[in-house]
């Protein structure tokens, strides 16, 4: 995969019919659904069947399992994800026919035209912050359009075509997609080195955020000043004076400030002060990081002119997104959670929240590394973060779009956990994880599966293997 430069956009109603390759993904399915809601003829294919694929079919999208050139018949535009390889038969056929080919980011960016765009970027926290903004604005009656990288737990959907002025999107930095979106408000939750397979160096990665936040349409940049990388970004932007920087965090100089934090248990709270107003921020989701995400959402809503009391009430109603500290179930005194964390910083924050939610019980982490390059680059950091758990099970790497790298496997992470003073076990076959975890757990334990791949399948199977009464979900 390489970095993507922005392309010229067109009115989304003028580019159809549109065919989506890999339409079943969380991000792609949300974009396809909005095109269908606009009345554009939509079709799509994916390698495997899924709930997303079936849901799209019920909404009127023509869908197929498997890729075949014939699926493009009638299409004028083809939208692809970053996971699609150049030799995909549908992509090859689209090029042969001379069809318009857009990356997912261009397909989404076209939908934002004519709206007040809000892009949420950052190494961590993009999905939850985007979701919080969407929920808070919706609660206040602003009816935003939005596309989130994971479905809302409350609705099971990741996108909505609203009647309001705001269009809120999760802006992915991994391949430069965040440069494509026409936004007036940009949020940067944090900046830490990642995706070096595309960006090359941490400095180049940082400069990508500078370029994104300095876009020609950007009026406001909402930045976390507690994170060193995003704080440095704020300083760079303030020096240029081209955009207005709004800061949030626990630091004394934050424009939207968090104080009097209560972090115990599975819910959190803080006093939030923004401008001349102050109120108590109560969340139903755990973790200090979620208070920070909520402060960003509050700042965005305030810039959009939404009543601040309504914003606090909307944030209090937020119940999370799927795969973000999501409860899988409880049985026999064991609680099982699932989380998308796949970067050392994310894992450290998630395990901190797990430790508080465990209320004195053991925390058992089950980690599936994501990408060979990330595992190679951050194995030591993964080990240090995972060592915060009482016991760690590591399986092999979820390759996604990458080919194997000799000598790089989940064993690197397992060794790093032991080197950091943790207790770890390597279970290379993901299919063996449920039974291995069942051997490990005892009443009072909190188990959390971690990773951006298919480790999410492990928790429900484990739940069925545990002895005890009826499970709670």
Identify whether 430 is a catalytic site residue. no
Tell me how far apart the alpha carbons of residues 85 and 63 are, in angstroms, rounded to a whole number: 20
**Residue 124 assigned ligand-binding role:** yes
Burial 18-38 (b: 16+ CB within 10 A, else e): bbbbbbbbbbbbbbbbbbbbe
Nearest to 22 by CA among 73, 89, 98: 89
**Residue 162 assigned ligand-binding role:** no
CA angle 340, 346, 347 (to 5 degrees): 80
Q: Which pair of structure tokens corresponds to residue 237?
A: 């932007």
Identify whether 126 is a catalytic site residue. yes
Residue whose pair of structure tokens reads 């009482």 in the numeric block: 390
Residues with Cβ within 8 Å of 41's Cβ and at least 6 positions away in sequence, in order, are 16, 17, 18, 74
**Residue 165 assigned ligand-binding role:** no
Give the C-alpha distances (Å, rounded to integers) separating 469 from 321, 335, 458: 28, 13, 20
Identify whether 127 is a catalytic site residue. yes
Q: Which of the following is catalytic: 36, 126, 130, 449?
A: 126
Q: Which of the following is catalytic: 63, 127, 189, 375?
A: 127
**Residue 123 assigned ligand-binding role:** yes
Could you tell me what percentage of the chain is helix, strand and coil, using 3-state DSSP and rounding each to the nearest 5?
40, 25, 40
**Per-residue DSSP letter, 25:** S
* Contact (CB, 8 A) for 72 and 94: yes
**Residue 444 assigned ligand-binding role:** no
Q: Which of the following is catalytic: 170, 173, 381, 414?
A: 170
The dihedrals phi and psi of 325, each to the nearest 5 degrees, come to 45, 50
Which residues carry out catalysis?
126-127, 170
State the binding site for ATP.
122-128
State the binding site.
122-128
């Amino acid at each position: 995969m390489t970095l993507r430069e922005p392309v010229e956009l067109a009115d989304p109603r003028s580019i159809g019919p549109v065919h989506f390759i890999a339409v079943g993904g969380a991000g792609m399915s949300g974009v396809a659904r909005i095109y269908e809601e606009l009345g554009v003829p939509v079709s799509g294919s994916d390698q495997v069947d899924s709930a997303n694929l079936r849901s799209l079919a019920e909404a009127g999208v023509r869908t197929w399992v498997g890729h075949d050139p014939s699926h493009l018949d009638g299409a004028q535009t083809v939208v692809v994800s970053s996971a699609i390889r150049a030799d995909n038969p549908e992509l090859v056929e689209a090029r042969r026919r001379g069809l318009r080919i857009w990356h997912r980011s261009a397909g989404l960016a076209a939908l934002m035209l004519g709206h007040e765009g809000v892009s949420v970027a950052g190494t961590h926290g993009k999905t939850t912050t985007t979701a919080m903004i969407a929920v808070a604005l919706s609660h206040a009656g602003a009816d935003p359009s939005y596309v989130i990288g994971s479905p809302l737990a409350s609705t099971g959907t990741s996108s909505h075509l609203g009647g309001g002025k705001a269009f809120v999107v999760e802006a992915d930095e991994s391949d430069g997609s965040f440069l494509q979106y026409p936004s007036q408000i940009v949020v940067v939750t944090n900046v830490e080195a990642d995706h070096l397979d595309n960006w090359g160096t941490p400095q180049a990665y940082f400069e990508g955020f500078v370029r994104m936040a300095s876009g020609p349409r950007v009026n406001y940049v909402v930045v976390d000043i507690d994170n060193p990388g995003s704080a440095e970004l704020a300083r760079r932007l303030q020096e240029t004076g081209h955009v207005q920087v709004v800061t949030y965090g626990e630091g004394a100089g934050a424009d939207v400030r968090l104080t009097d934090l209560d972090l115990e248990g599975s819910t959190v709270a803080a006093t939030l002060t923004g401008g001349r107003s102050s109120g108590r921020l109560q969340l139903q989701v755990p973790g200090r990081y979620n208070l920070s995400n909520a402060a960003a959402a509050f700042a965005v809503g305030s810039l959009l002119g939404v009543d601040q009391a309504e914003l606090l009430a909307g944030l209090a109603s937020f119940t999370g997104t799927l795969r973000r500290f999501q409860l899988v179930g409880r049985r026999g005194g064991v609680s099982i959670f699932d989380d998308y964390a796949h970067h050392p910083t994310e894992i450290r924050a998630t395990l901190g929240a797990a430790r508080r939610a465990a209320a004195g019980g053991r925390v058992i982490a089950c980690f599936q590394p994501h990408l060979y390059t990330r595992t190679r680059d951050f194995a030591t950091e993964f080990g240090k973060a995972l060592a915060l758990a009482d016991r760690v099970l590591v399986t092999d790497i979820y390759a996604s779009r990458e080919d194997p790298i000799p000598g790089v496997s989940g064993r690197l992470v397992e060794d790093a956990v032991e080197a950091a003073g943790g207790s770890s076990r390597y279970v290379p076959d993901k299919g063996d994880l449920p039974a291995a975890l069942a051997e490990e757990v005892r009443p009072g334990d909190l188990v959390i599966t971690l990773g951006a791949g298919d480790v999410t399948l492990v928790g429900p199977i484990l739940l069925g293997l545990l002895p005890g009464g009826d499970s709670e979900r």
